[in-house]
Amino acid sequence: MLEPQRKISHKSQDIPPFLVMDVLERAVEMEREGRDIIHLEVGEPDFDTPPNIVQAGIEALRTGRTHYTPSVGIYELREAVAAHYENIYGVSIDPNCVIITSGCSPAILLALAALLDGSSQVILSDPHYACYPNFVRFLGGAPTFVRTSAENGFQLETDLVKRALTTNTRAVLINSPSNPTGTLLDPDRMQQLAGLGVPIISDEIYHGLVYEGKEHSVLEFTNNCFVINGFSKLYAMTGWRLGYVICPPEFVRPIQKMVQNFFISPADFVQWAGLEALTNSSQATDIMKHTFDERRRFMLRRLREIGFRVEVDPTAAFYILADARQFSEDSYTFAFEILEETGVGVAPGIDFGESAEGFIRFSYTNSLEKISRALERIDLYLRQRFGSSR
């Protein structure tokens, strides 16, 4: 009998790890060993899904919402998404241009797959969400990075984007509010980017979680865009896996065909829970926003007291990307050092691009009491290692 031949594909071997998950997985191992771990590394709300949304999901199950739906999602939810964007941003959306997906990651994959061929280029800010370039490369495209700086709140400069454009550029991917920086892209910059004539993919998953200022949808400035959004963050529905993409009409059928082939349809009962979230959850989200803002203000103050630098206050999402180069310029090693020595999980900046090397991302998706204890542990450790004159 011949020995079986197994060859692992290059694309699966070459994809880099998500370093935040490496930290989380080591932290979980330490918890199994009996260590007390405080998680500031993951971007997942610590709130349970609001009861009315849970009840809507239960009622959907009880009434038989357990079957395939149209591949693009139930019309009632697509219509509610369009109404939501009109109510919040004053833009008119055709519900037929809304495609419901099993989370935002499939939505990003589908939008990019609809745009990219071999040698296609996608422009990304640096720092950026860690997985963006991996999506692009997996689909055969090439990410091109435009550096931003902490001094101006990691704002994407239109002139630098314009210089990076080539005949192969298929899209500019933006994320405002941003992971990992927690900052908002200025609306005038968003308008300038929209005027470059290249499709904008706008990841708007953190919309609604803004504590100072106001978020803007790219749809306010152009229809030459793909909007990515979902229910995980604002509605504390990470485990429900529900998102959507709003796309130009000519892309609906190509994306629909990909959904049919690769995903069939989003879960039926989950979509009905999403409908409840969009139409009847303002009280619960207001409570979450107030709590996150309280944590944000506390964490900013304590991080600066400890010796981390934050040039511009983040005003949205639930992240602070803090300059840790006073302590180490190797953020990967430093993050694991903090975890092993203090039992606090944090995210290494290098996961988010070269411009974030030497930075550490702190997430305030944990209780104020645990955040306080975590930062006390880090403060004590750094005092012991570097002395009080740091």
Q: What confidence tier does 10 reach under pLDDT thresholds 50, 70, 90?
A: confident
Sheet holding 169-175, edge to edge: 98-101, 243-246, 225-230, 200-203, 169-175, 121-126, 142-147
User: Is the pTM for the entire model greater than 0.85?
Assistant: yes
Tally the domains of the chain.
Answer: 2
**Same-domain status, 168 and 236:** yes
Residues 94 and 171 in one domain: yes
d(CA 35, CA 46): 20
Same domain? For 343 and 379 the reply is yes
End position of a domain, from candidates 281, 307, 322: 281
Is 379 found in the same domain as 349? Answer: yes
pLDDT value at position 17? 84
Q: What domain range includes position 346?
A: 10-48+283-385
DSSP characters for 362-387?
Answer: EE--S-HHHHHHHHHHHHHHHHHHH-
Whole-angstrom distance, CA of residue 265 vs CA of residue 101: 7
CATH number of the domain within which 55 lies? 3.40.640.10
DSSP labels for 281-338? -HHHHHHHHHHHHHHHHHHHHHHHHHT-B-SS---BTTEEEEE-TTT-S-HHHHHHHH
d(CA 81, CA 128): 26
Instruction: Give mean pLDDT, residues 43-61.
Output: 96
The residue from 231, 248, 281 where one domain ends is 281
Is residue 43 located within the same domain as residue 64? no
- CATH of residue 324's domain is 3.90.1150.10
Q: Which residues pair with 145 in a beta bridge?
A: 124
pLDDT surpasses 60 at 388: no
pLDDT of residue 390: 53
Q: What is the pLDDT of residues 180-236, one digit of tens each?
A: 999 999 999 999 999 999 999 999 999 999 999 999 999 999 999 999 999 999 999
Q: How confident is the model over 226-252, as pLDDT tens digits?
A: 999 999 999 999 999 999 999 999 999
* Under 8 Å between Cβ of 20 and 351: yes
**Domain limit, last residue, from 255, 281, 307:** 281
| Domain co-membership, 44 together with 70 | no
